Homo-oligomer: A and B are copies of this chain.
Amino acid sequence: MRDFSADHRWLSINTATLRGAGPLDRILDACARHGIRAISPWRDQVAAIGMKKCAALVKSHGLALSGYCRGGMFPAMDAAGLRLALDDNRRAVDEAKMLDATCLVLVVGSLPGALAGKPQSNDLFAARRDVHDGIAATLEYAKSVGMPLAIEPLHPMYAADRACVNTIEQALELCDAIDPRPASTSNGALAPLGVAVDVYHIWWDPKLEAQIARAGRDRLLAFHVCDWLVPTKDLLNDRGMMGDGVIEIPRIRGWVEAAGFAGYSEVEIFSTQDWWKRPEDEVLATCIARHRTVV
């Protein structure tokens, strides 16, 4: 397991962590100021300042992208809706490619309409079928341009509105169904389809260690950290800073690295009432300190 205590070279900042800090250019400047080497930006933040400006800043600051957030949201009520989702995912792949991201993260979606608070269906099985088909179609294009897709299993409390893929096991079943691995051992390259492991979503899973091992080096495309607060006051926006909650992050990172993962540890914190209200320099200084001590 890598020693993170001496520096923060393996720290990446998911730019959602700094949603309180203003536009993306300001966020990227702050990251550069703190010696951050990698980020993972959200599409809406990129769109707000423009892809051209974003790409220029990424280049001038010498930033790597540990991921690009996000594709997915495949399920829909009809063919037109499914087509719209596929088109949007194709654009997401293109954007990820323009920024030379390690992978495009997929939050796969679930019951159509649920994210807007008005579910039009309660058929989780139909949603799972749409997700399978949507990933398969997107993967074909993603392979053609060389952009790995990382399925992110979300916590089961998001099963209705954000993702009907809720465990690493389930994500790996999807990977194996859509993109079977060759029988020969991996050459160490990233697979075109794999998983994003976010400790917030999967820390509770009794099968976690085994499924991380099963994923292996080629299917582990991203590793996200934050913490589970006790109590958690909001289902979406009350994530904690690493060390402030109950997740044994080093234990999980140990498993991920034992399986061969050697990429960035990406901090992704949604926190309307706490971290998004603090100055970006305080947030980043805290991310760095915690990265070195409790991740």
Inter-chain contact A167/B206, CB cutoff 8 Å: yes
Of chain B, the residue at the smallest CB distance from A236 is B231
Main SS of chain A's interface residues? loop
Q: Is A235 an interface residue (CB 8 A)?
A: yes
Closest-CB distance, A105 to chain B (whole angstroms): 20
The CA-CA distance from A235 to B232 in the complex, in Å, is 8
Of chain B, the residue at the smallest CB distance from A249 is B122
Q: Is A137 an interface residue (CB 8 A)?
A: no
Inter-chain contact A156/B204, CB cutoff 8 Å: yes
Q: Is A257 an interface residue (CB 8 A)?
A: no
Inter-chain contact A204/B159, CB cutoff 8 Å: yes
Q: Which of A105-160 contact B (CB under 8 A)?
A: 111, 114, 117-119, 122-124, 128, 155-157, 159-160
Q: A122-B245, A124-B204 are in contact. List 6 more A-B contacts (CB 8 A).
A: A124-B248, A156-B204, A157-B235, A160-B228, A166-B204, A166-B205
- Give 3 nearest A-B pairs by CB, closest first: A159-B204, A122-B246, A156-B204
A-B contact pairs, 26 of them (CB 8 A): A111-B230, A114-B230, A117-B230, A117-B231, A118-B230, A122-B247, A122-B248, A123-B248, A124-B204, A124-B246, A124-B248, A128-B206, A155-B156, A156-B156, A156-B204, A156-B205, A157-B232, A159-B203, A160-B230, A160-B246, A161-B230, A165-B206, A166-B205, A166-B206, A170-B206, A235-B235
Question: Which residues of chain A have a CB within 8 Å of any CB of chain B?
Answer: 111, 114, 117-119, 122-124, 128, 155-157, 159-161, 164-167, 169-170, 173, 203-206, 228, 230-232, 235, 245-248
